[in-house]
Structures are given as C-alpha cells and as structure tokens.
Amino acid sequence: MIYLDNAATSFPKPEPVYQALDKFARTSLANPGRAGHRMAVAAERTLDDTRHALNQFFRGESPDRWIFTLNCTDGLNLAIKGTVKPGDHVITSDLEHNSISRPLRALEKAGVITLTRLASDDGYLDPEAVRKALTPKTALVALTHASNVLGTVQPIEAIAPIVREAGALFLVDAAQSAGVIAIDLRATPIDFLAFPGHKSLYGPTGTGALYVGPRANPRPWREGGTGGDSSSETQPTLFPYILEGGTPNVLGVAGLAAGIAWVANRGVEEIRRHEVALLQRVVDWAEGTEGWRITGRWNPATHVGALSLVVPEALTPQDLGSILDTSFEIAVRPGLHCAPYIHRALGTFPDGTLRVSPGPFTTDEEITTFLNALTEITAGVL
C-alpha cells in the first residue's frame, strides 16, 4: 500500500516508536500511581518524562501544564467546554475541523454563546479580521494552525498578541502542525494548544495532549481517580491531575515519547520540507493536466504536507479514492475531511476534494506511481 493519508493519522511510525510500544507493553504496563508499587511508579514516570519532553519541545511554561488526552478532539472539547460561560462571545473560522466547529455550534444553538465565524481567503485568515471581530464579551478565539483540507498554515504568531491584548483566551488546534511547524509557546502567547499524538508526532492512535497556559483554568469535564490524593472528595485542584480523571493511555504515551524524540532528532522543518517538496510535484502535475486543479493558495513556505485536489467533473472524489484503493493500492482521503464550512466556501460541497498527504517516509517513486495512476484513471474519462 502507498499510504498518502498521513493527515488522518501517520503511517508507518518510526521504528523506535514500535520498539518503545513493545518494550513498554512487556515490562511496564501497570496502572500509573504516584504512591503505588515500583511498576506503577515507573508507569507514572513515563507520563512525567513525556510531559517534560512536550514542555521542552514546545517551550511551555512547565511540564505540569500538559494534559494527556484521547486525541485532539478531546483536548479541544476540554478547552472549549471548560472555558466558556453563558453570554460569552467566541471567534472561530471557516477553516475549522468539526472538532472545533461542532462543540461551538452546539453551544451557540443552545443559546450559551454567540459565535463569529471568520471567512478565510484562498486558505488564509487575516489577523486584522480577528481584531475587528473581537468584542468586550469575547472570551475565546479558537482557530486551526494549519487547515486539514488545504494544508495552509495560519499566521498564529500575528493573531496571538491581538487576542491577548483584548483579554480573550487563544485556543490553537495544532492537529496538522504539531511536529511539522515549530511552535514556541514562550514567544507566542497561546493559552491552549491541542494536538493529537497520532499524526506528526508519530504516537499511536488514542494519544493527544492539551497545553493549558497559566492564564487559563478550565473546569474539569472528566472527574475520577488520579493515581493519588484519594482522600479528596472532589477532583484535586493540582495540575495536571485536575484535568486527568481515570487510567491514562500510558502505553500510547510511551510510544508518543519515542515519536517526539524521533521528530526532535530529525528536525521539524526538515520533515515539513520533505513533505512539501513531494506535494510540489502534485501541484505541478495538477496545473499541467486538463480537468484538475488544486485548492488554496500554494506557497511552499506556508504549507504543511496536505493538499486538496478538485477532480474532473466526470468523476467524484469518492470514485477516485475507491479506484486508487482497489486497483492501485494507494490510500488517499476523498470527501469533506470533517471540515464542511471550508468546502462550502470553496464550492466543493458536498462531494469534497481528493486529499493527498505524504509523510516523512513517502518516497519520490511513490509520488510518481500516484501521479501515473491519476493520469491513467483520468485518461479513461476525459
């Protein structure tokens, strides 16, 4: 299989990740507990060490501000639902994944918040539009760092100070950027950073993290055992335990730690450049082939490794995805990519586009095979 669906989840994982998962599962897979037996303490240490690694990687305030989550959606929901109060105003955009759009729209429909959804221009948000949308009631600005449909990277370094100045909290969805774009939490005033562990940080599925900056104090939405402070009648107020009820995915976190180390060693920009260079070939092919076009302004300097193609009218993205899978053993992602608002804005709703997302292990030869397959399929219908 030629796997070009890394924007959904990365595959394969780097070899050290498989090794870490195997070793941890065989030797240390106890229930973490600060006051427990040595295996429990060792498991707890894996969580602590990984919080340190995350804090160093993203230059956060301190390791205890990193909350392990089930995925990116889990962290985004925690940040959104733990923060907003009745009467608050929230700003978001048409680039968002449903993991931001749906919780916000549900809160809006329930009459809890008012919502402004900013329109992007050719895949990019304008920081000045954020400034204009802010009101004294704006409690939260929730934006994606990189569009999972278009791969375009948003100017969060310019947006963050505008949000901070207005006294609102800034939530960044780094699902498509964590591990491929450097994020410096000391240089950029971000209050919440949510991302999955299973995409460009190469952990297994079931992993993710939410960074909670010092100005944010979300209400816990999952209360329960925390591996310590058992006598307390309510959730301990200490970070990170206040936001982490129940047995964590410590096996997944062990894999995630190996993934972060691999990325740090390989270099974030090096990985991004490899993926974007492969996409450049797809862009050149689409621009030179009748019936095809790309969506979103193409700029290799502000792009991650995901690109959406508008397919010829005689085909649907679903047809193409299925032919690529069954006849060519190539995995891509057709459809709306859980981001309906941007497809409506682009005029690609409801069929969507064909998204291609190479990873660090994708080769030039695989892209050649993919482009030859597209050429062959389209030759039959045009």
Question: Does 71 interact with ligand PLP (rule: CB under 6 A)?
Answer: yes
Cβ pair 154, 188 in contact under 8 A: no
How near is the Cβ of 195 to ligand PLP at its closest, in Å? 8
Cβ pair 338, 196 in contact under 8 A: no
Question: Does 93 interact with ligand PLP (rule: CB under 6 A)?
Answer: no
Question: Does 97 interact with ligand PLP (rule: CB under 6 A)?
Answer: yes
Q: Among 73, 93, 295, 353, which residue interacts with ligand PLP (rule: CB under 6 A)? A: 73
Rounded to 5°, the CA angle 126-129-133 comes to 150
- Region 155-174 residues binding ligand PLP, contact defined as CB under 6 A: 173
Question: Does 99 interact with ligand PLP (rule: CB under 6 A)?
Answer: yes
Q: Which stretch binds ligand PLP (CB under 6 A): 70-78, 105-113, 250-258, 367-375?
A: 70-78
Question: Does 151 interact with ligand PLP (rule: CB under 6 A)?
Answer: no
Q: Which stretch binds ligand PLP (CB under 6 A): 66-74, 269-277, 290-298, 354-362?
A: 66-74
**145 vs 274 by CB, closer to ligand PLP:** 145
How near is the Cβ of 19 to ligand PLP at its closest, in Å? 23
Q: Among 32, 63, 196, 255, which residue interacts with ligand PLP (rule: CB under 6 A)? A: 196
How near is the Cβ of 337 to ligand PLP at its closest, in Å? 7
Question: Does 67 interact with ligand PLP (rule: CB under 6 A)?
Answer: no
Q: Among 175, 260, 367, 374, which residue interacts with ligand PLP (rule: CB under 6 A)? A: 175
How near is the Cβ of 317 to ligand PLP at its closest, in Å? 17
- Region 232-271 residues binding ligand PLP, contact defined as CB under 6 A: none
How near is the Cβ of 142 to ligand PLP at its closest, in Å? 11
Question: Does 208 interact with ligand PLP (rule: CB under 6 A)?
Answer: yes
CA-wise closest residue to 20 among 179, 251, 178: 251
- Region 303-332 residues binding ligand PLP, contact defined as CB under 6 A: none
How near is the Cβ of 266 to ligand PLP at its closest, in Å? 21
Output the six-digit token pair for 259: 């993934």
Question: How many chain residues are in contact with ligand PLP, going by CB under 6 A?
Answer: 13
Binding string to ligand PLP for residues 26 to 65, with x set by CB under 6 A, is what? ----------------------------------------
In this structure, are strands 169-173 and 192-196 parallel, antiparallel, or unpaired?
A: parallel
Q: Among 47, 72, 84, 268, which residue interacts with ligand PLP (rule: CB under 6 A)? A: 72
Q: Whole-angstrom Cα distance, residue 109 to residue 155?
A: 29
Q: Among 50, 92, 101, 144, which residue interacts with ligand PLP (rule: CB under 6 A)? A: 144
How near is the Cβ of 73 to ligand PLP at its closest, in Å? 3
Question: Does 176 interact with ligand PLP (rule: CB under 6 A)?
Answer: yes
How near is the Cβ of 165 to ligand PLP at its closest, in Å? 26
Cβ pair 179, 201 in contact under 8 A: yes
Output the six-digit token pair for 361: 């292990």
The residues that touch ligand PLP, with contacts defined as CB under 6 A, are: 8, 71-73, 97, 99, 144, 148, 173, 175-176, 196, 208
